[in-house]
Amino acid sequence: MLTGSMVALVTPFTKHGNVDYTLLAELVEFHINHGTDAIVSVGTTGESPTLSHDEHVDVVRATVEVAAGRIKVVAGNGSNATAEAVQLTERIAPLGIDGFLNVTPYYNKPSRAGLLAHYRAVTEASDIPQILYNVPGRTCCDLSTEIIAELSNFPNVVGIKEATGEVERVKAIKDACGDDFILLSGDDPTACEFLLQGGHGVISVTANLAPQAIKNLVVTACAGKREEAEAIDEPLRSLHAGLFVEANPMPVKWAMARLGWIEENYRLPLTAPELASQKVIEAALQSAGLLK
């Protein structure tokens, strides 16, 4: 099952702008050792828009090789061009992943018919389970409950990463798609309540920095232990907020560099956060006990 605490893993770069596969391997090992249930490779946080298709495939391949079956690997396969999404799916499918994360086709603003046709083409390109990814704040494309219900009938669509922050959608989607349809939070600030409302896990940016805490939160909240879950989440709230003070993944990469885990390298058009934002992120790290 593609549930539990899943990290939206960053893609580290060298000072020359290439993918740093040595650091990538270290990050995969870090999450294996800290209880993360799955790595989501080359999603938004992994800077998929700035990777070439070859790099995209190579990052997934490297992640799977290091994981070596010790942790599940989910790979982003979305694009705003259906043919590109199909091509990525076909290239990644043989690498040994456990699932795909399939973002809505951004920028184009497709109709209901277009969305259904897009997802039919991409899901038919592989029989590996696919998780829908709804993040209208980035894509200008919102999957309605009705469309999600239709897509849930596609043979290998198993769930959705819901990143709107609207926790009331949990019940609506559950009612429309049934209890077996996997509901994953893609919004760290509201993830605790999402899980308490019946979600099955998270795809978390915060987990890059606090994997064990996010794992504990998921286990506790999914067990319906509200007071305990909120107590776990409380010291993380400033971190959730700080990591979105500017567009993801700029804050989380800066934070990881500040802790000495990766080099502070970005790929244009992404850059280092503004100085004011850096102060917010640093304060959040201190509040979470990650920086003394």
Residue 254: is its pLDDT beyond 90?
A: yes
Q: Is 109 marked active-site? A: no
Over residues 42-57, the mean pLDDT reads: 96
Tell me the two tokens of residue 42: 């080359």
4-225 maps to CATH 3.30.70.20? no
Continuous segment of H or E residues that includes residue 38: strand 38-41
Cross-strand partners of 40: 8, 74
* Whether the predicted pLDDT of 53 surpasses 90: yes
pLDDT at 143: 96
pLDDT at 282 over 90: yes
> Model confidence at 73, in pLDDT bands (50, 70, 90)?
very high
Annotated binding site: 45, 203
Domain chopping of the chain, boundaries? 4-225
pTM, to two decimals? 0.96
Q: Which residue reads 């309540």 in tokens?
A: 193
- The active-site residue out of 133, 215, 253, 266 is 133
Question: Residue 1 pLDDT > 90, yes or no?
Answer: no
Contact yes or no for 205/254 (Cβ under 8 A) = no
Show binding-site residues for pyruvate: 45, 203
For 98-150, what is each residue's pLDDT tens digit?
A: 999 999 999 999 999 999 999 999 999 999 999 999 999 999 999 999 999 99
Residue 183 per-residue DSSP state: E
- Asked about 106 being catalytic, the answer comes back as no
Residue with tokens 């080099």: 263
**292 pLDDT above the threshold of 90:** no
Query: How far, in Å, CA of 33 to CA of 100, rounded?
Result: 23
Check 21, 72, 119, 161 and give the catalytic one.
Answer: 161
